[in-house]
Structure 1
């Protein structure tokens, strides 16, 4: 119980306790979301992005399967009619799955056993333990679109399950992001390939990268997929995570 309390407290400090980062986040996400737009936060955790998007005037579907994080989301946003909290995971098909939980570091809870194997070989994960698991419902992005509408932006941060999440999307969306973690480099490339396929039906995507939680883009221009891969290779040796952003070239 102490580990769970510490994990949530740490997440609240990281995602809600840094005003300068929130200002940068509003500037970054303001490029994707305008007042009245719909955003999907897949892996909403304790609602850091939800808070930012609401301050931009966007409506938010906050998707989170972790019970402790759900309590935080409901306390913070349960009375906001423009935040729809979905207590579920997202995957390639609807059903249910086991979610491996890390009590002390809930940001790395995951449904991907292969991702756990990949990252545990990295020294930065030496102290991480997945100490319990729960069965959670799973829906697809297409299910969420049918329920809530097409989002202007979709954030996917699901610790190695990004490919499965994107596999459940059958249409391009205007903008999206997915996590990049150097120890799971190949998984990120597989996610990029799926995004490229989606974008091919709508004029293609252009990309950028934001290291760690800087809320700043690494490139001063938007890149094609090959250029993005070369950029990621320059960050890979440092072993620090970040997020790949994609927007339709026509948007």
Structure 2
């Protein structure tokens, strides 16, 4: 059983995905569920369009309506509404060149809450990658965070790469105040210090790497008790929450939610999920599973 087949059965209603900083299109992890998504993309350099499946809105998101200046950088992925922190970035290889501003473009900023009302959508998942302005976007989405959002993927910075950037701990604290829990981190990136010897990333210590933590992607989910309540009370919500867990590789959480909601799911879906979880649990290698077997044998030595 492929995940794409499971997602098609889990998502009995379209899941509304908001992508803030949508350059590059839909991330491949969402492709298996593409036919069951309503995608809302924000990219201030694009034209407004809506084909019934994807709505593209040409605004930058923030905490208030207004105007801002988009700093387009030599490395386009580092483009931001904030100015690069040039003094700090000068310490690291490549970053002064990557963040060289090649164009400044006036853009309008809008609040997500207002646009959701105007265009009639209720975000259930939000992905934010705006190079330092993540908290500003979230502050303009308080109603969505409270009423409809199930989960969020947010790029977070460990150091002030842009002037005025809100760092990791403050965004995590804000999300916790809104009823979300930090579940995972990945794509952890490091900046390497410039030096005369040309040292960049030598392998000199097992398990550790050169460089300073710069940024990462983070997954937030509604607080556990609320997530479970929503899944248990509503078949469509249960399917969406389990689907998000599978898309982000949280098969353990998906299996737990399936345990709690299986009575509301269709018999054929329960059967397919049981087969899938049996496969990924490693039971085909024996009762204990691979990880339990390794733990067992390790305990004997």
TM above 0.5? yes
1:174: how far off? 1.0
3-state SS in 2 of match to 1:48 = coil
Shift of residue 116, structure 1, vs aligned partner: 6.0
* Structure 1: 4+ residue segments shifted above 4 A: 114-121, 234-238
1:89-144 per-residue CA deviation (whole Å, 9 max, x = no partner) reads 00110111111111x31111101126566545443413211121111011112123
For residue 36 of structure 1, what is the aligned residue in structure 2?
14
Residues 245, 64 of structure 1: alpha-carbon distance in 2 compared, 3 angstrom cutoff: same
Deviation of 1:164 after TM superposition, in Å, equals 0.9
Match of 2:220 in 1: 246
Residue 46 of structure 1, CA deviation:
2.2
Look up the SS of the partner of 1:196 in the other structure: helix
- 1:59 — aligned with what? 38
For normalisation by structure 2, the TM-score amounts to 0.54
Superposed CA RMSD in Å reads 3.4
User: TM-score when scaled to structure 1?
Assistant: 0.64
Give the drift of 1:165. 0.8
Mean Cα displacement is larger for which, 114-123 or 154-163? 114-123
- Among candidates 122, 131, 135, match of residue 163 of structure 1: 135
Asked whether the equivalents of residues 172 and 182 of structure 2 are also in contact (C-alpha less than 8 Å), the reply is no
Aligned residue number for residue 25 of structure 2: 47
Unaligned runs of 5+ in 1: 1-22, 214-233
**Bigger Cα Rg:** 2
**Aligned residues, how many?**
191
Contact 1:97–1:137 (CA under 8 A) maintained in structure 2: yes
Q: Which runs of 5+ in 2 are unaligned?
A: 190-207, 228-301
CA contact (8 A) 1:50 1:60 kept: no
- Alignment of structure 1 residues 80-229 onto 2, 5 Å: 80-102=51-73, 104-113=74-83, 119=89, 121-128=91-98, 129-147=100-118, 148-171=120-143, 172=145, 173-184=149-160, 187-199=167-179, 204-212=180-188
Mark the CA change 1:162 to 1:118 in structure 2 (over 3 Å): closer, same or farther. Answer: farther
